């Protein structure tokens, strides 16, 4: 065989096991996996000795373009994703943040229009600036957008739709930070029911996603905490107790049941939510739970800023790890990456009064694999095989990208992430690729690190031995928009 790329001596890791073999790549796809590569010649050969070769990470939730123009954010943040082992990025945005021009900094209700007019420019921008492949999950707010779902599916291959339930607010005044994130309409249960009804009609791997967090209850806790004089960072956790999350899962899980829509629960951060997911499965609902590095690693203190849903206390963090390891209500891990509005330097954003601190923190995609490898695999909480399942294969199956993405097998895209389980890194600014230039995990030490990322046979990020930080080798933009097929065969989780 004449190949474009030959990867030798790597420990290939899949959900079913780890073995040593060589991988031949031709025309951007895996052409052969063999223990005898003597008959293969290649234009490029990479020796992966001492490294584990994983499928490229499928990060199903990220928000480039929230607070800055989509083109600018995607250009810088997709490179941060590439440096972190991600080859496929699932971008969640409202219609105002998918390349709509001119960029509106502070969205009003009248700015929230349909998705169909902005999607062509969105696809164009992805092809022009992205370092990774991208699929889109619209954040639906209006009846008009519900009516677009069949056409979005047929013309743009969009089969996942997000409901940011925290924005179901009785009053959306001009001070609400969500207006800076592109959300402006607010919505009601009718929108949720309508989205689920249309998603169910699409069939296959089409899915409704929810950010479960009842702000209408949380606002009462917030008012009480402020009256008590609480300004500490843990007050943000206390303002949104576990039942605020689980209540939405129970309520909207019931709507998923009666509409027949599969359901994906973003950042299932508490034990009661995991239990609710298992109960819904027992009632026949196809439902999945998700988590991210923020809820697997951080604690509610001054290192962990405001984020929705909030960082939980250690007892809940350990519950997430157990659910993740044992397949008990948590099926995938994604970064929930975002970069704040300018000025987004740490010093400009920080305030030791939690109510005056900006919501969100940057560089979450760059903490995704280090947390999973260091505090998951190397800490004995999960196996590397399970990590591959929840980072790569499961999200590819859930979102209709499998078997093109998320797996190392002949015919799949030649997307790989090489990891060094023994590499110890103390994070400093040299390790941060995000356009913000800083990370919440600066000063933290991790054992286990991504050292090379390959997209369709091309290296897009490589840590050379002795380098202070990752080098995105290619200055080209190899990312593509990934349409999916409505009604295509759904590949259940194994």
DSSP H stretches of helix in 84-161: 119-129, 143-156
Q: What is the pLDDT along the chain (494 residues), one digit of tens a residue?
A: 999 999 999 999 999 999 999 999 999 999 999 999 999 999 999 999 999 999 999 999 999 999 999 999 999 999 999 999 999 999 999 999 999 989 998 898 889 999 999 999 999 999 999 999 999 999 999 999 999 999 999 999 999 999 999 888 655 554 456 788 898 878 999 999 999 999 999 999 999 999 999 988 999 999 999 999 999 999 999 999 999 999 999 999 999 999 999 999 999 999 999 999 999 999 999 999 999 999 999 999 877 788 999 999 999 999 999 999 999 999 999 999 999 888 888 888 889 999 998 887 888 999 999 999 999 999 999 999 999 999 999 999 999 999 999 999 999 999 999 999 999 999 998 889 999 999 999 999 999 999 999 999 999 999 877 666 777 766 678 899 999 999 999 999 98
Please report the pLDDT score of residue 142 as a whole number: 94
Q: How many residues does the chain have?
A: 494
Phi, psi of 288 (to 5 degrees): -125, 150
Q: How far is CA 29 from CA 130, 413, 494, in A?
A: 20, 4, 23
End-to-end, the C-alpha distance of the chain in Å comes to 32
Both tokens of 226, joined, read 């402020």
Strand partners, 134: 89, 481
Please report the pLDDT score of residue 88 as a whole number: 98
Cα-to-chain-centroid distance, residue 246: 21
Which of these CATH numbers, 3.40.50.410, 3.40.50.970, 3.20.20.140, 3.40.640.10, describes 56-398? 3.20.20.140
Neighbours of 226 (CB within 10 A): 14
Contact 63, 92 (CB under 8 A): yes
DSSP conformation letters of 231-244? -STHHHHHTS-HHH
Please report the pLDDT score of residue 174 as a whole number: 43
Please report the pLDDT score of residue 175 as a whole number: 44
- Whole-angstrom distance, CA of residue 295 vs CA of residue 303: 13
Summarize the chain as % helix, strand, coil (round to 5).
35, 25, 45
Please report the pLDDT score of residue 464 as a whole number: 77
């Amino acid at each position: 065989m004449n190949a474009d790329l030959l990867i030798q001596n790597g420990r290939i890791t899949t959900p079913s096991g780890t073995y040593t073999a060589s991988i031949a790549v031709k025309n951007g796809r895996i052409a052969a996996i063999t223990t005898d590569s003597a008959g293969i010649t290649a234009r490029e050969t990479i020796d992966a000795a001492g490294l584990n070769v994983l499928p490229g990470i499928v990060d199903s939730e990220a928000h480039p373009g929230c607070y800055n123009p989509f083109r600018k954010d995607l250009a810088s943040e997709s490179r941060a994703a590439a440096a972190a082992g991600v080859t496929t990025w699932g971008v969640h945005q409202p219609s105002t943040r998918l390349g709509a021009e001119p960029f509106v900094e502070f969205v009003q209700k009248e700015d929230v229009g349909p998705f169909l007019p902005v999607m062509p420019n969105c696809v164009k921008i992805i092809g022009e600036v992205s370092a990774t492949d991208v699929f889109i999950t619209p954040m639906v707010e209006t009846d008009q957008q519900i009516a677009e779902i069949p056409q979005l599916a047929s013309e743009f291959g969009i089969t996942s739709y997000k409901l940011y339930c925290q924005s179901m607010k009785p009053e959306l005044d001009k001070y609400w930070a969500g207006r800076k994130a592109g959300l402006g309409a607010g919505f009601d249960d009718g929108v949720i029911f309508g989205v689920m009804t249309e998603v169910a009609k699409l069939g296959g791997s089409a899915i409704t996603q929810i950010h479960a967090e009842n702000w209408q209850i949380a606002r009462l806790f917030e008012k009480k905490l402020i009256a008590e004089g609480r300004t500490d960072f843990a007050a943000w956790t206390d303002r949104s107790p576990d039942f605020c999350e689980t209540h939405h899962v129970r309520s909207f899980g019931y709507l998923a049941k009666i509409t027949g829509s599969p359901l994906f629960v973003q950042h299932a951060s508490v034990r009661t939510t995991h239990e609710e997911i298992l109960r819904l499965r027992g009632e026949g609902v196809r439902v999945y739970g998700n988590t991210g590095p923020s809820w697997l690693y951080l604690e509610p203190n001054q290192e962990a800023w405001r984020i929705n849903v909030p960082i939980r206390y250690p007892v809940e963090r350990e519950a997430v790890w157990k659910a993740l390891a044992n397949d008990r209500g948590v099926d995938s891990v994604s970064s929930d990456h975002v970069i704040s509005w300018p000025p987004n330097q740490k010093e400009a954003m920080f305030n030791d009064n939690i109510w005056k601190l900006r919501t969100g923190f940057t560089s979450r995609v760059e903490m995704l694999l280090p947390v999973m490898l260091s505090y998951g695999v190397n800490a004995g909480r999960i196996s590397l095989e399970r990590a591959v399942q929840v980072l790569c294969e499961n999200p590819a199956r859930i979102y209709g990208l499998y078997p093109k993405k998320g797996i190392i097998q002949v015919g799949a895209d030649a997307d790989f992430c090489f990891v060094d389980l023994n590499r110890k890194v103390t994070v400093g600014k040299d390790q941060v690729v995000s356009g913000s230039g800083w990370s919440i995990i600066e000063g933290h030490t991790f054992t286990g690190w991504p050292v090379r990322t390959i997209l369709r046979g091309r290296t897009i990020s490589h840590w050379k031995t002795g380098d202070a930080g990752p080098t995105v080798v290619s200055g080209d933009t190899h990312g593509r928009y990934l349409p999916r097929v409505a009604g295509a065969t759904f590949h259940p989780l194994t």
